[in-house]
């Protein structure tokens, strides 16, 4: 008789963190109506995030890996690790936003609500065990981010960036849906695990439709993580967006995209690994190549960091190409460390923005070490970490990915990767060179604040701590291996 029952009310425990984040977002919108000081909204958002982080840990410790909503949504170590990245990304972004928004005269309460909503979208993506849920999370994340990119209503560049990001993002969503529909037509299911077993049981590994759908997924998710040749939106969107949002979306959506790639490619397309690695390898190589080489000629630091983030997507993609759980854990480790060093770098960029000065041009960094030795020292650390020079965490991130790639036999890929690392050293070091080896042209005013200071201190501490004692994060990433 049981089978005729109405389905039970779904178990809400696995999705509790998402509910907390969404609930906080709604609360933020509400209190935004009543408070004048928007900082309060921001701090409430941080409290909500910390609460969600706490619940994530508690729930996972309590019930372990569990799926809910008829197996469409799963809480496991893999998704939990990514959620940790999203929380960090969110908290750091809020910290660096508070003062910046005041300078931009855009202290809007909904800014923080949208940040939380975008984050909940990412969390749903990481937990999606069904292509429909994946799409749901993707859209929640994307739509919120589109608005955030264009939130400086009176700024033309911001508007342009939002439109561009929105149009191209819409295309990529369509690709994802098309791929999902093909898969559904082929296998009759949208459940990621069920797709894999259907393909295995029916021997569909060589099927052309399957290949086509895999390529469509690669395009759609490649867009989200900004790999070449689907990167066209990134430099413009990164440059035009408010800098705090640039920091946010250079980490969050990218990590969410990687979470989805890991699950979809390793599980759903697990049987055609050779085919999809043949698709992803050119993406990775092109991203490293184009990202690093084009970054050489940038004079706007946000654009430079945009190209650098394209290149980093290429490095992290190596971990996926390896195609093992270990490889994925190296990619997760990469994204975790990348979050700190990239947001840290953007935080310094934000500090240079003050009334009347954009602080985005490389020449604004000339002689910074003379007037602001601490800020330059921090930027130095972030640049070194992005280059991947020990003892910063950036080295550990690259080392792990390279090690897994070589283990899997992709030595030539790693050779390419390290050569482009050397190329990248040039433009990262150029920032250091401007700061330390040039004379200052004009007085630079730093707009620092306490939350900003905390964000910078935490990032720097983590970069060195994980650079010298990487065991903690390595164990966590290995513990959270998919499947």
We find the least distance from the C-beta atom of residue 254 to other proteins, in angstroms, to be 24
Nearer to other proteins, 344 or 470 (CB): 470
We find the least distance from the C-beta atom of residue 474 to other proteins, in angstroms, to be 5
> Under rule CB under 8 A, how many of the chain's residues touch other proteins?
34
We find the least distance from the C-beta atom of residue 89 to other proteins, in angstroms, to be 25
Distances (CA, A) of 394 to 141, 344, 421, 429, 464: 27, 12, 11, 15, 9
Stretch that binds other proteins, among 251-259, 296-304, 305-313, 407-415 (CB under 8 A): 407-415
State which of positions 325-384 bind other proteins (CB under 8 A): 369-370, 373, 380, 384
403 is a contact residue toward other proteins (CB under 8 A): yes
Which of 47, 415, 450, 457: binder of other proteins (CB under 8 A)?
415
Contact indicator for 346, 431 with CB cutoff of 8 Å: no
β-sheet bridge partners, residue 300: 361
421 is a contact residue toward other proteins (CB under 8 A): yes
The DSSP annotation for 234-250 comes to HHHHHHHS-HHHHHHHH
Backbone angles phi, psi at 455, to 5 degrees: -60, -45
Which of 23, 170, 325, 391: binder of other proteins (CB under 8 A)?
391
Nearer to other proteins, 54 or 469 (CB): 469
478 is a contact residue toward other proteins (CB under 8 A): yes
Binding map of other proteins across residues 41-80, x = CB under 8 A, - = no contact:
----------------------------------------
Stretch that binds other proteins, among 73-81, 180-188, 257-265, 474-482 (CB under 8 A): 474-482
Nearer to other proteins, 220 or 381 (CB): 381
Contact indicator for 133, 192 with CB cutoff of 8 Å: no
We find the least distance from the C-beta atom of residue 418 to other proteins, in angstroms, to be 4
* DSSP β-ladder status, 73-75 and 66-68: antiparallel
> Look-up: residue for tokens 């969107």?
237
Stretch that binds other proteins, among 15-23, 68-76, 168-176, 423-431 (CB under 8 A): 423-431
We find the least distance from the C-beta atom of residue 335 to other proteins, in angstroms, to be 18
The DSSP annotation for 393-455 comes to HHHHHHHHHHHHHHHTT-HHHHHHHHHHHHHHHHHHHHHHHHHHHS---S-------HHHHHH
422 is a contact residue toward other proteins (CB under 8 A): yes
Contacts of 138 (CB under 8 A, 6+ apart): 121, 125, 173, 176, 224, 256, 260
439 is a contact residue toward other proteins (CB under 8 A): no
Give the integer Cα–Cα distance in Å for 320 and 308: 19
Which of 23, 170, 325, 390: binder of other proteins (CB under 8 A)?
390
Give the integer Cα–Cα distance in Å for 54 and 48: 10
Give the integer Cα–Cα distance in Å for 31 and 40: 9
Which of 265, 395, 431, 452: binder of other proteins (CB under 8 A)?
395
We find the least distance from the C-beta atom of residue 100 to other proteins, in angstroms, to be 28
C-beta atoms surrounding 253 within 10 Å:
26
Contact indicator for 93, 118 with CB cutoff of 8 Å: no
Q: Is 17 left (phi over 0), alpha (psi -120 to 50) or beta?
A: alpha
Which of 103, 163, 211, 433: binder of other proteins (CB under 8 A)?
433
Stretch that binds other proteins, among 139-147, 220-228, 343-351, 413-421 (CB under 8 A): 413-421
Binding map of other proteins across residues 113-152, x = CB under 8 A, - = no contact:
----------------------------------------
We find the least distance from the C-beta atom of residue 412 to other proteins, in angstroms, to be 8
Contacts of 175 (CB under 8 A, 6+ apart): 216, 217, 219, 220, 223
β-sheet bridge partners, residue 361: 300
470 is a contact residue toward other proteins (CB under 8 A): yes
Scored b (16 or more CB within 10 A) or e, 195-216 reads bbebbeeeebbeeeebbebbbb
* Contact positions vs other proteins (CB under 8 A): 369-370, 373, 380, 384, 389-391, 395, 399, 402-403, 406-407, 411, 414-415, 418-419, 421-422, 425-426, 429, 432-433, 436-437, 469-471, 474-475, 478
């Amino acid at each position: 008789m049981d089978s005729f029952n109405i389905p039970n009310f779904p178990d809400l425990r696995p999705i509790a963190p998402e509910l907390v984040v969404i609930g906080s977002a709604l609360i933020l919108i509400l209190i935004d109506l009543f408070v004048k000081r928007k900082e309060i909204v921001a701090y409430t958002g941080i409290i909500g995030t910390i609460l969600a982080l706490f619940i994530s840990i508690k729930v996972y410790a309590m019930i372990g890996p569990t799926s809910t909503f008829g197996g469409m949504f799963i809480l496991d170590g893999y998704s939990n690790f990514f959620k940790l990245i999203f929380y960090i990304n969110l908290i750091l972004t809020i910290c660096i936003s508070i003062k910046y928004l005041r300078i931009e005269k855009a202290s809007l309460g909904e800014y923080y609500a949208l940040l939380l909503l975008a984050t909940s979208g990412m969390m749903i993506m990481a937990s999606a065990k069904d292509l429909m849920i994946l799409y749901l999370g993707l859209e929640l994340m994307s739509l919120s981010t589109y608005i955030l990119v264009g939130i400086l209503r009176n700024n033309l560049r911001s508007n342009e960036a939002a439109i561009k990001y929105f149009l191209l993002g819409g295309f990529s969503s369509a690709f994802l849906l098309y791929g999902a529909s093909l898969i559904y037509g082929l296998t009759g299911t949208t459940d990621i695990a069920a797709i894999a077993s259907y393909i295995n049981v029916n021997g569909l590994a060589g099927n052309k439709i399957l290949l086509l759908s895999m390529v469509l997924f690669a395009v759609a998710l490649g867009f989200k993580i900004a790999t070449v040749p689907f990167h066209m939106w990134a430099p413009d969107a990164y440059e035009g967006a408010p800098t705090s949002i640039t920091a946010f979306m250079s980490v969050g959506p990218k990590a969410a995209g990687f979470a989805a790639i890991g699950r979809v490619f390793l599980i759903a397309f697990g049987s055609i690994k050779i085919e999809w690695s043949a698709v992803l390898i050119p993406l990775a190589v092109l991203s490293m190549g184009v990202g690093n080489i084009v970054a050489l000629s940038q004079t706007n630091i946000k654009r430079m960091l945009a190209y650098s983030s394209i290149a980093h997507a290429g490095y992290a993609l190596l971990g996926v190409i390896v195609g093992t759980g270990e490889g994925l854990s190296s990619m997760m480790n990469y994204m975790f460390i990348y979050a700190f060093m990239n947001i840290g770098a953007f935080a310094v960029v934000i500090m240079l923005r003050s009334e009347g000065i954009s602080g985005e041009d490389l020449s604004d960094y000339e002689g910074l070490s003379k007037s602001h030795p601490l800020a330059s020292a921090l930027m130095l650390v972030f640049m070194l970490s992005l280059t991947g020079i020990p003892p910063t965490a950036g080295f550990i991130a690259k080392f792990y990915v390279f090690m897994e790639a070589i283990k899997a036999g992709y030595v030539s890929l790693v050779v390419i990767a390290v050569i482009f690392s050397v190329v990248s050293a040039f433009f990262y070091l150029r920032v250091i060179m401007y700061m330390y080896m040039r004379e200052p042209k004009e007085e630079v005013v730093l707009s620092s604040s306490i939350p900003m200071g905390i964000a910078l201190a935490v990032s720097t501490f983590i970069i060195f701590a994980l650079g010298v004692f990487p065991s903690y994060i390595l164990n966590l990433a290995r513990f959270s291996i998919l499947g």
